[in-house]
Amino acid sequence: MTTRSLKKIPALLLFLTVVGSPLPSLGRREAAPPAGPAGNPEELKEYPVVLEGRLRLVGNEPFSSLVLSAPDGRDYIIDRRTESGRRLLGLQGREVSIKGRVRESAVYAGRDRYLGQEYRLSPSSWTLLSSP
């Protein structure tokens, strides 16, 4: 080998490292989502609830969402299409108790990458528990 070809080896190694580094991310698929009541992961679950937590506004306009952060760490996206949902928008940062229905569904990135569960809350009534 000549000295000239030896000088190209570090550049070749750097090139192979950069090109080969994303290959492990092309490995196995994500784990399958938990199955719904009928075994279908796409099936929605809907149930009545009474929840307490703090209201937060997350995201940027025009795609912001009003969220109820429960003490157990779960976030519930509040449906602002209802009258109760629109009124809750003005109570950001306050502790509230909300009665309504939760719709639980699986969330995917693309067609097959399971990200987790999403909880959407359609409030029917609410009570203010504390100020910010």
- The token pair at 90 is 């003005």
Residue 80 lies in a domain: yes
Residue 11 lies in a domain: no
Yes or no: say if 122 and 100 are a contact pair by the CB < 8 Å rule: yes
Q: What percent of the chain has pLDDT over 70?
A: 72
- The token pair at 125 is 């009534």
| Side-chain-side CA neighbours of residue 127 (13 Å) | 6
**pLDDT tens profile 11-50:** 777 776 766 666 555 555 555 555 544 445 555 789 999 9
Residue 115 lies in a domain: yes
Q: What's the pTM?
A: 0.63
Taking the CA atoms of 82, 84, 87 and 92 in sequence, report the sign of the dihedral they define: negative
Residue 83 lies in a domain: yes
Domain containing residue 113: 33-130
Residue 7 lies in a domain: no
**How many structural domains compose the chain?**
1
Rg (CA), the chain: 24
Residue 116 lies in a domain: yes
Q: What is the CATH number of the domain that holds 94?
A: 2.40.50
The CA-CA-CA angle for residues 36, 117, 34, to 5°, reads: 35
Residue 104 lies in a domain: yes
Q: Which residue has the tokens 């570090």?
A: 10
Residue 109 lies in a domain: yes
